[in-house]
């Protein structure tokens, strides 16, 4: 690697570290959530955040957009939202005597789909083309969305009245589903003090530009992963489909459908991004295990027996990680 390339590489790593510090000016804790959002950003993957209200999901995404100097749009999903409210529509210009395209909020770099499960399937499916194809069709015209384009969606696991579960096809398009947990006692003390003392400063400094993000994506793509670890990823995914072959007898009775091929692809990408942010240019088994839960927990469909026995997807994934060996 040339000296200039190495220097640029170190500069980007320092900027990534600075992103965490800037977000921490506004958001107390939640480094795990920020890390997963960064993985999505550097691998061109969408992220679904699930957690109870008040855990700063919306605040974290909007703050990150400021730090990255990207165009940001927040869309509050409601039961009466229409697809045209999302992507845009054709309006008639009386002066010109013709129809014109009025673009919707989807035309931004980072989209916060807040409480995505509050809208019916027809609105949720309006995101599908944008998320997968990075384009939107309005009338007879197809528009390419600006890069980078990321959907960060939030959903509330409680208060399910009046909500619409996301279709499996759409859930699978999210690279990761991240469970956002409560802050620690010390973190909550800091949050309480900041708010009560009116010392909540929302001003952050821009750290990464679009050019930096694209450069980091190239660097993440160059992170190496050995063939044995590639096979390990395949074995992990196959264990969700054929659990009995991996002696997962206790878990097999609960799995209705295993993970799709997107799980293999995204495990590879997320592990590379994790290695990069840890300062390495090669993937370790720990990188794969670190991201396995977030990449696979929404891709394994459990049956009613699992619900009756209070078995959750993370339990299944932990058992798989403990059982599937890494063959050298």
Q: What is the pLDDT of residue 265?
A: 94
**Confidence band for 199, pLDDT divided at 50, 70 and 90:** low
Which of 7-11, 215-219, 282-286 shows the lowest mean pLDDT across its residues? 7-11
Task: Please determine, for residue 328, whether its predicted confidence score (pLDDT) is greater than 70.
Answer: no
Query: What are the pLDDT digits (tens) for 291-321?
Result: 999 999 998 888 898 888 888 989 999 999 9
**Confidence band for 89, pLDDT divided at 50, 70 and 90:** confident
Task: Compute CA distances 164 → 159, 167, 314, whole Å.
Answer: 11, 9, 22
All structural domains of the chain: 3-215 (3.40.50.300), 223-323 (1.10.8.80)
Q: Of 67 and 91, which is predicted with more confidence? A: 67
Q: What is the pLDDT of residue 108?
A: 87
Query: What are the pLDDT digits (tens) for 40-56?
Result: 999 988 999 888 777 88
CB 64 within 8 A of CB 23: yes
DSSP per-residue codes, 254-319: TEEE---HHHHHHHHHHHHHHHHHTT-SB--HHHHHHHHHHHHTTTPEE-HHHHHTT--HHHHHHH
3-state secondary structure (DSSP) of residue 129: helix
Which tokens sit at 206?
A: 């821009």
Task: Please determine, for residue 1, whether its predicted confidence score (pLDDT) is greater than 60.
Answer: no
Task: Please determine, for residue 6, whether its predicted confidence score (pLDDT) is greater than 70.
Answer: no
Task: Please determine, for residue 92, whether its predicted confidence score (pLDDT) is greater than 80.
Answer: no
Q: Sort residue 29 into left (φ over 0), alpha (ψ -120 to 50) or beta.
A: left
Q: What is the pLDDT of residue 4?
A: 46
% the chain with pLDDT above 90? 21
Give me the phi and psi of 76, to 5 degrees please: -85, 110
Query: What are the pLDDT digits (tens) for 207-266?
Result: 888 888 898 899 899 999 999 999 999 999 999 999 888 888 888 888 888 888 999 999
Q: What is the pLDDT of residue 2?
A: 46
Q: Tell me the helices (H) and strands (E) count for the chain, helix number first.
A: 14, 11
Task: Please determine, for residue 5, whether its predicted confidence score (pLDDT) is greater than 70.
Answer: no
**Confidence band for 160, pLDDT divided at 50, 70 and 90:** low
């Amino acid at each position: 690697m040339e000296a200039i390339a190495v220097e640029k590489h170190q500069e980007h790593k320092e900027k990534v570290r600075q992103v965490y510090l800037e977000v921490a000016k506004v958001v107390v804790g939640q480094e795990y959530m920020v890390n997963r959002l960064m993985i999505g950003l550097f691998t061109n993957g969408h992220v679904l955040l699930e957690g109870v209200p008040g855990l700063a999901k919306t605040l974290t995404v909007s703050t990150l957009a400021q730090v990255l100097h990207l165009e940001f749009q927040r869309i509050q999903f409601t039961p009466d939202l229409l697809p045209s409210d999302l992507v845009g529509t054709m309006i008639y210009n009386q002066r010109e005597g013709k129809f014109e395209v009025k673009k919707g909020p989807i035309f931004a770099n980072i989209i916060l789909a807040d409480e995505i499960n509050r809208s019916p399937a027809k609105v949720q499916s309006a995101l599908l083309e944008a998320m997968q194809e990075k384009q939107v069709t309005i009338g007879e015209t197809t528009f390419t969305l600006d890069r980078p384009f990321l959907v960060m969606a939030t959903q509330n696991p409680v208060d399910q009245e009046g909500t619409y579960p996301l279709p499996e096809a759409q859930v699978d398009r999210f690279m990761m589903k991240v469970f956002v947990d409560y802050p620690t006692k010390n973190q909550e003390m800091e949050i309480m003090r900041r708010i009560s003392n009116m010392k909540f400063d929302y001003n952050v400094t821009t750290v990464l530009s679009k050019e930096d993000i694209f450069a980091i994506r190239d660097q993440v793509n160059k992170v190496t992963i050995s063939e044995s670890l590639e096979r390990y990823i395949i074995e992990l995914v196959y264990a969700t489909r054929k659990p009995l072959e991996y002696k997962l007898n206790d878990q097999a009775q609960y799995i209705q459908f295993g993970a799709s091929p997107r799980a293999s692809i995204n495990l590879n990408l997320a592990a590379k991004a994790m290695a990069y942010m840890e300062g390495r240019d090669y993937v370790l088994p720990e990188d794969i295990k670190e991201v396995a839960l977030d990449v696979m927990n929404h891709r394994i469909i459990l049956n009613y027996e699992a619900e009756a026995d209070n078995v959750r997807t993370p339990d299944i994934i932990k058992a798989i990680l403990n059982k599937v060996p890494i063959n050298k």
